[in-house]
Amino acid sequence: HRLDRALSPLDRHVAVVGFMGSGKSTLAQEVARRIGRPFVDLDDEIERRVGSNIPSFFERYGESAFRELEATTLAAVAEGDPKVVALGGGAATLPDVRRFLRERALTIWLDVDVDTCWERARDSDRPLAQDETEFRRLYEERRPLYAEVADAVARDADDVVLAAARVHVERGALQRLGELVPGDRPVALVSDPHVAGIHGADAQLALGPRLAQTHELPPGEEAKTLAALDRLWQDLRLDRTGTVVALGGGCTTDAAGFAAATYLRGVAWVPVASSLVAQVDAAIGGKTA
Ligand code: S3P
């Protein structure tokens, strides 16, 4: 997971990658509808541009000519407003495409087991799904490439919509906080006495050596007072590469998010919401989460 990119995820294309038969186009279409963005299927777009279907193009010109087309078509599609793009299963084998995905897209890997992919692809005319052994070999070969480019792994449209909003939902995520907080720079953990008592030790353990300091805001609405904010501003010992992690309910995430946005010239922050209010309200707008 790389959540620390320069562009806000909402300015980026959402790119769905994954193996043949994983269901990328169906999923990407659903995501596009839900987030109100144009949908582009890269294979369809290629077919439209060359005026022939992919199997005949492969047969006539070979795989490397097809790969070139994939890269140039993706670059053309990426012009203009952010879209949801379903890539072909092999696009991620191209270094240019991988660079594009890292720099310009929020890339979602639709990770589906090989048996399911094969069942769906075996009777199709896809040139690289004609032989089961080769299909399975390619599947294994490409997994590291999908993993390399992916900002998030998804099983369904809900996962993608959450990832596009930079929301990470996972049972046990608190124990993985150290990996989930972007980058490797120091972290200030901000919570309130109640939540710190319940989850503070887990969060501290998970942040490990990155944890530079802890701070407790007063519980409830009092966190959102200038006095409480002033104590936090004075207490924070981060430089501009540091991250505030706000662990708690809506008041904690409101106050810590505000403090992070106004500390130095604004530092990154990650809300770790411990209540529903914090999840649906106060956490939205976190700079990187
Ligand atoms: C390919 C996957 C296909 C299509 C072409 C090559 C691949 O797209 O681009 O047949 O190399 O995996 P889907 O993944 O949409 O089937």
Q: pLDDT digits over 31-77, tens only? A: 999 989 999 999 999 999 999 999 999 999 999 999 999 999 999 99
CA of 126 to the centre of ligand 1 (A): 7
Query: What's the predicted TM-score (pTM) here?
Result: 0.77
CA distance 120 to 79: 32
Q: Any residues with Cβ below 6 Å from ligand 1, and which?
A: 20, 24, 43, 54, 88-90, 126-128
Helical spans, DSSP H, in the chain = 24-35, 42-50, 54-61, 63-77, 95-104, 114-121, 132-149, 157-164, 177-180, 193-195, 201-207, 226-235, 250-262, 276-277
CA of 127 to the centre of ligand 1 (A): 8
Pick the residue whose CA is nearest to atom 2 on ligand 1.
89
CA of 145 to the centre of ligand 1 (A): 15
Nearest to 139 by CA among 114, 111, 119: 114
Tens of pLDDT, residues 200-257: 999 999 999 999 999 999 999 999 999 999 999 999 999 999 999 999 999 999 999 9
The preferred substitution site among 128, 138, 139, 140 for testing ligand 1, maximizing ligand atoms within 8 Å of CB, is 128
Pick the residue whose CA is nearest to atom 15 on ligand 1.
88
- β-pair type (187-191, 243-248): parallel
Contact 278, 191 (CB under 8 A): no
Residue at token pair 């562009």: 7
